[in-house]
Chains A and B, each alone.
Chain A
Amino acid sequence: MANTKAGKKEDGSAPTGGVPTMSADNGRRALLRNGLLGGAAFLVSQITRPFVEAYAQAPELDRPGHEHVEAHGGMTTVGTVDHARNGFDPSVILTDWDTGRSGETSDGKRLREFTLTAIDKEIEIAPGLFFPAWTYNGRVPGPTIRVTEGDRVRIHFVNGGSHPHTIHFHGIHSAEMDGVPNFGRGMINPGEGFTYEFDAFPFGSHLYHCHAIPLKRHIHKGLYGSFIVDPDPALHPEHKEAAMSRLLGAPENDRWQELVMVMNGFDTNFDDENEVYAANTIAHAYMKRPIHIERDRPVRIYLSNMVEFDLVNSFHLHANFFDYYDHGTTLTPTHRTIDTVMQCQAQRGILEFSFEGFEPGQYMFHAHQSEFAELGWMSLFEVVA
């Protein structure tokens, strides 16, 4: 990239020719080749030699002594984000499950009721950097909705924003409940509301997001969240133990350290490229406040990718490997013993791993697109014994 750019210089000299002595050689050679003014060139180069040398030697002294530069600590955003003003905290979002209000339907099913309100809200996505977001319940990502396979889910949606919105849930449901324009209730105008209702199926690590048009803008403005459907162990006798470990509230689930991460990005200057990448919105949030992990308890991450403008995102764990369940819809891993996983837009999965027996300390994880990592999607686990 750098070389291509430098190569376009009008003088057509080699991009490495920043040092005058080298370029002087190039210039001289070209001149002689052209047979033009060869003698004059020699003469003048003799005259100018003291100048060229004085100049060329000088940068030697100034050459970047990398020891002067705090290279390791250098790559970061500067300052701190005011999470209180934002009204949400990425460290809290990690484990902040919303199981809704419990009730019972007339046919005896368990009913889970939620209220999601679309709110226009300016949020601080990196220190001092504000983004005019559209949010569900004032936070990005929206509440992590967590239910159990077979539950009746009822979502009361209120549009308190300035644009028509919807909620489109990933899962199996009727066309009417799909939350897309022109089908069922379609777009919900500002000030209006609608109740989406369906059975939670299949189990897995899912998503919900606004499906109003223009789609790209409605999504990357912040209208999305995780929708986790825990497996009902009774329905999976052949993998009962795995199912029990995923069921929130079960004793088998208690020993797991479960985290939810939505990989996202923000285009702040409308160039269809993201200026900030993160897991759970705030650039470098878990770099500045590493995620506390107890060494001897296994870790499960519900990971999803809601980044816009880029085809894929990824998750790379340092010094360790994990098992991966694509979409979370299986109880046996779809990939075993990997340290990097790639997700397309809206793809998600469950990661399971453990630091058992590891040396306590800080372990990195980040997108293995260097660009994303350098623009904020870079994090740390703080493993404690």
Chain B
Amino acid sequence: MSERSLGMPTRARWLLAVLPLGLVVGLVWFYLATDPLEPLGASAPPVEELTVERSVIDDRGFHLHVRADGSEPMRIAQVQVDGAYWEFDLEPAGALARLESAWVHIPYPWVEGETHLVSLVTGSGLIFEHEIPVAIATPTFTLSRLLAFALLGLYVGVVPVSLGLLFYPYLKTLGARGLQFLLALTIGLLAFLLVDTLQEGLELAAAAAAAFQAQAVVWLAAALTFLGLLVAGRRSGQPRGAALAYFLALGIGLHNLGEGLAIGAAFAVGEVALGSFLVIGFTLHNITEGIGIAAPLTQRRSAFWTFVGLAALAGLPAVLGTWFGAFAYAPQWAALFLGIGAGAILQVIVEVAAYLSSLASQDERAGNWWSFTNLAGVATGIVVMYLTAFLVSV
């Protein structure tokens, strides 16, 4: 068949594609026109879903950005705040079609620092609850806040990575075994970050409207990013040296974007009760990242600007993350970014492992990648990340 069609004139080949397409259209029309489900008595009530994507609190009350996610248009009939029916405004007014969004404005005299519960009551009496864990005014977009969040991003991203990179001169003094240990440690820390990023991404995805299938998006984004970076990285052979360090910095940077996102969003909803303690935690946590990034560079000389570039690539995304988290938060987008981050980290794990493996095969004494040094390195990386993560629980 295929051999024969190859010889066919172009018009006839088109027909071969159009014919099945036409059949598909016909099938859909037939399904809709005849309602084959009717004999099943399928008059099930419409499934209603409502997701609160973002909440803004200001001196006029609460403002919730909601997205409908059901089989039929749904109507927010009433709003309860803390178990009392309350005045509200819908913008735009009226029913919400599938995946349509609206703002619910509720003039409510909220109490700073206390918990409030908003219940959105639909026309059929279903209730979708949104908890405001600690009511504080949502940071509005001002220059001073923008700078404050940028500063926070620098403290949790750029500063610790740079501190980690400062170990570089010491790392250079390590022998071959030391370098292997270090690379293994990098793999350990990346393994921790991979799990952490995926977990965060999936958690956020669960908070997004179901129709977005955000959890699948996290996995797919991770897989595609992984493959994309792997292919890009291997175009000129297996990355090593500065190239590998840059990939490391990119993967870690995407993870730090997620960290920044979490911090910004937590500040925006008043959930951060750790203050500067949080910053210490992130700093310690992320110093290890800097050491990891420096590891592939120890075998050759590197320019100062390389380090600046690496610190910026790994650390600056945290700044973007805090801005995004504080001022323009939406769970499905955050989940997508974290999926991308996870894919990037996986790519670096593979590349660092490949590098480590090639180093190990050159090492006559070790001769094997499966050494206790490497095992100890991976374990140390994971344990250090785990322990410092105690200091950071947003």
- Cβ B87 vs Cβ A129 within 8 A: no
Supposing A78-B88, A128-B77 touch, asked if A374 and B83 sit within 8 A by C-beta, the answer is: yes
9 examples of A-B residue contacts, CB within 8 angstroms: A24-B275, A27-B278, A41-B277, A44-B276, A48-B155, A58-B145, A69-B107, A74-B109, A129-B77
Supposing A77-B78, A374-B84 touch, asked if A18 and B270 sit within 8 A by C-beta, the answer is: yes
User: Is A257 among interface residues, defined by CB-CB distance under 8 A?
Assistant: no
- Cβ A45 vs Cβ B78 within 8 A: no
Interfacial chain B residues near A47, Cβ < 8 Å: 155, 279
User: Is B347 among interface residues, defined by CB-CB distance under 8 A?
Assistant: no
- Cβ B145 vs Cβ A69 within 8 A: no
Interfacial chain A residues near B121, Cβ < 8 Å: 126, 129, 268, 275
User: Is B267 among interface residues, defined by CB-CB distance under 8 A?
Assistant: yes
- Cβ A70 vs Cβ B276 within 8 A: no
Interface residues in A20-52 (C-beta closer than 8 Å to B): 20-21, 23-28, 30-31, 37, 40-41, 44-45, 47-48, 50-52
Q: How large is the interface on B (under 10, 10 to 19, 20 to 34, 35 or more residues)?
A: 35 or more
**Stretch of A60-68, A200-208, A297-305, A321-329 lying at the B interface:** A60-68
> Which residue of A6, A48, A73, A77 is within 8 Å of B276 (Cβ)?
A48
- Cβ B112 vs Cβ A20 within 8 A: no
Q: Whole-angstrom distance from the CB of B272 to the nearest CB of chain A?
A: 6
> Which residue of B60, B85, B107, B151 is within 8 Å of A374 (Cβ)?
B85
- Cβ B276 vs Cβ A19 within 8 A: no
User: Is A2 among interface residues, defined by CB-CB distance under 8 A?
Assistant: yes
Interfacial chain A residues near B272, Cβ < 8 Å: 20, 23
> Which residue of B88, B109, B110, B276 is within 8 Å of A45 (Cβ)?
B276
Q: Whole-angstrom distance from the CB of A140 to the nearest CB of chain B?
A: 15
Q: Give A323 to B274 CA distance when docked, in angstroms.
A: 58
Interfacial chain A residues near B87, Cβ < 8 Å: 70, 73-76, 78
Interfacial chain B residues near A10, Cβ < 8 Å: 393
Interfacial chain A residues near B83, Cβ < 8 Å: 371, 374-375
Number of A-B contacts (CB under 8 A): 207
User: Is A101 among interface residues, defined by CB-CB distance under 8 A?
Assistant: no
Interfacial chain B residues near A266, Cβ < 8 Å: 125
Binding site for A on B (CB under 8 A): 58-61, 75, 77-80, 82-88, 107-116, 121, 123-127, 131, 133-137, 139-140, 142, 144-145, 147-148, 151-152, 155, 267, 270-280, 283, 393
| Chain A 193-230 per-residue mask, 1 if CB under 8 angstroms from chain B, else 0 | 00000000000000000000000000000000000000
Q: Whole-angstrom distance from the CB of A66 to the nearest CB of chain B?
A: 5
Supposing A50-B148, A69-B107 touch, asked if A40 and B85 sit within 8 A by C-beta, the answer is: no
- Cβ B275 vs Cβ A6 within 8 A: no
A-B complex: 8 closest residue pairs judged by Cβ atoms: A268-B125, A24-B275, A374-B84, A27-B277, A62-B137, A128-B77, A23-B273, A13-B273
Supposing A18-B136, A23-B275 touch, asked if A375 and B393 sit within 8 A by C-beta, the answer is: no
Q: Whole-angstrom distance from the CB of A271 to the nearest CB of chain B?
A: 8
User: Is A182 among interface residues, defined by CB-CB distance under 8 A?
Assistant: no
> Which residue of B59, B84, B133, B148 is within 8 Å of A9 (Cβ)?
B133
- Cβ A21 vs Cβ B275 within 8 A: yes
User: Is A183 among interface residues, defined by CB-CB distance under 8 A?
Assistant: no
- Cβ B107 vs Cβ A58 within 8 A: no
Q: Give A1 to B114 CA distance when docked, in angstroms.
A: 10
Q: Give A128 to B123 CA distance when docked, in angstroms.
A: 5
Q: Give A6 to B131 CA distance when docked, in angstroms.
A: 11
Closest B residue by C-beta to A277: B85
Supposing A27-B275, A55-B148, A371-B83 touch, asked if A18 and B113 sit within 8 A by C-beta, the answer is: yes
User: Is A181 among interface residues, defined by CB-CB distance under 8 A?
Assistant: no
